[in-house]
Amino acid sequence: QSKPQARVDGSTGVSFSDIAGIDEAVEELQELVRYLKNPELFDKMGIKPPHGVLLEGPPGCGKTLVAKAIAGEAGVPFYQMAGSEFVEVLVGVGSARIRDLFKRAKVNKPSVIFIDEIDALATRREGISSESTNNLYNAATQERETTLNQLLIELDGFDTGKGVIFLGATNRMDLLDPALLRPGRFDRKIRIRPPGAKGRLDILKVHARKVKMSPSVDLSSYAQNLPGWTGAKLAQLLQEAALVAVRNGHQSIQQSDVDDAVDRLTVGPKKLGIDLG
C-alpha cells in the first residue's frame, strides 16, 4: 500500500563542480557535506547536527542538482521523492510513505532525503470545513493533514536519526504551512536564484565540458544576450546545439549551430509568425 518508494541513488555521482552561478548557496551547503562525511566528529565536538534545509527558488535553477551534489560529494545514498507522490485520497497512505522514507534513510545513514515540490504535501492548512458536504474533498484534506503531521513528527524526532539530512525544495514558499517553517524543523532556508550574466557564462562552461565544442564559439556573447535563461534552459541549449551540429555534419559545435539552437528554443513573435509591424 505504501508504493511508490523513493528512488535511491547509491551515490548520485553529481559534484559541486557540476554546478555554477549559485556560489553562495553552494558555499553554505559545504557544511552539510562535512557533516555527512563525519557525523561523529560533530557529535564529539558538541555541535548540534544540521538536519533540515529548505531550498527555495524558481524552476530550473539547480535545486535538485544542489541536493544531489550534497549526497554525491559526501558519497552517501540519496532518497528522492516529489511532494505530489504523498498526495493520496486514501487516508494513511501518504503518512505511511513518509514513515517508510525516513526509516529507509535512517537504516542507511549517513544519507540525504530530498523532497522536491514540498509545497504539494505541505500546503498551508485551511482547516477542514465540517460544513462541507463534499466527503471526497474532506477526506483528501484530512489525508493531507495526516501526511504533513507525519512529516513534522519525523523532523521533530530527528535527533534519533543523526546522520540524515533532510532537504526540501519549493518554488512556492508562500504556500507552505507555517508549522513546517517553525524553528527546529528547517535550520536553514537557502535561496537558489536565477543566474546573472556571469552565472550564465559559468553554467555554459560547465555544460560545454560535456559536449564537443569548437574553441571558436564565444560563450560569453550568449551569456550576455540571453537574460532570464535558467541553468536548465542553458543546459538544453548546448544539447540542442550538439544535435544541430550533428545534423549539419560538423565535427564539433560551431557558433552557427548554437545560433540555430537559440532560435529553436526561443519562442517569440517572430517564431510564431506574428508581424509586429
Residues found near ligand ATP in the complex (CB under 6 A): 19-22, 59-65, 116, 169, 171, 203, 206, 231-232, 235
The C-alpha atoms of residue 193 and residue 223 are separated, in whole angstroms, by 16
Question: Given the C-alpha cell 521533530, which residue does it identify?
Answer: 156
Q: Which residues contact 147 (CB under 8 A, 6 or more apart)?
A: 86, 87, 94, 95, 97, 98, 121
Give the residue with the Cβ less far from ligand ATP, 117 or 143: 117
In the complex, least distance from residue 40 CB atom to ligand ATP, rounded to whole angstroms = 31
* CB atoms near residue 40 (< 10 Å): 10
Give the residue with the Cβ less far from ligand ATP, 53 or 96: 53
In the complex, least distance from residue 232 CB atom to ligand ATP, rounded to whole angstroms = 3
Give the residue with the Cβ less far from ligand ATP, 96 or 120: 120
Q: Which residue has its beta carbon closest to ligand ATP?
A: 231
Question: Given the C-alpha cell 521523492, which residue does it identify?
Answer: 81
Q: Which residues contact 149 (CB under 8 A, 6 or more apart)?
A: 95
- Of 274, 266, 269, 72, the C-alpha closest to 167 is 72
What share of residues in the chain are helix, strand, coil (percent, to 5)?
50, 10, 40
Give the residue with the Cβ less far from ligand ATP, 150 or 230: 230
In the complex, least distance from residue 82 CB atom to ligand ATP, rounded to whole angstroms = 9
Dihedral pair phi/psi, residue 154, rounded to 5°: -65, -45
Give the residue with the Cβ less far from ligand ATP, 169 or 201: 169
In the complex, least distance from residue 3 CB atom to ligand ATP, rounded to whole angstroms = 22
In the complex, least distance from residue 24 CB atom to ligand ATP, rounded to whole angstroms = 12
In the complex, least distance from residue 42 CB atom to ligand ATP, rounded to whole angstroms = 27
Give the residue with the Cβ less far from ligand ATP, 81 or 96: 81
Give the residue with the Cβ less far from ligand ATP, 17 or 221: 17
In the complex, least distance from residue 45 CB atom to ligand ATP, rounded to whole angstroms = 32
Q: Which residues contact 222 (CB under 8 A, 6 or more apart)?
A: 200, 204, 237, 258, 262
The C-alpha atoms of residue 227 and residue 22 are separated, in whole angstroms, by 16
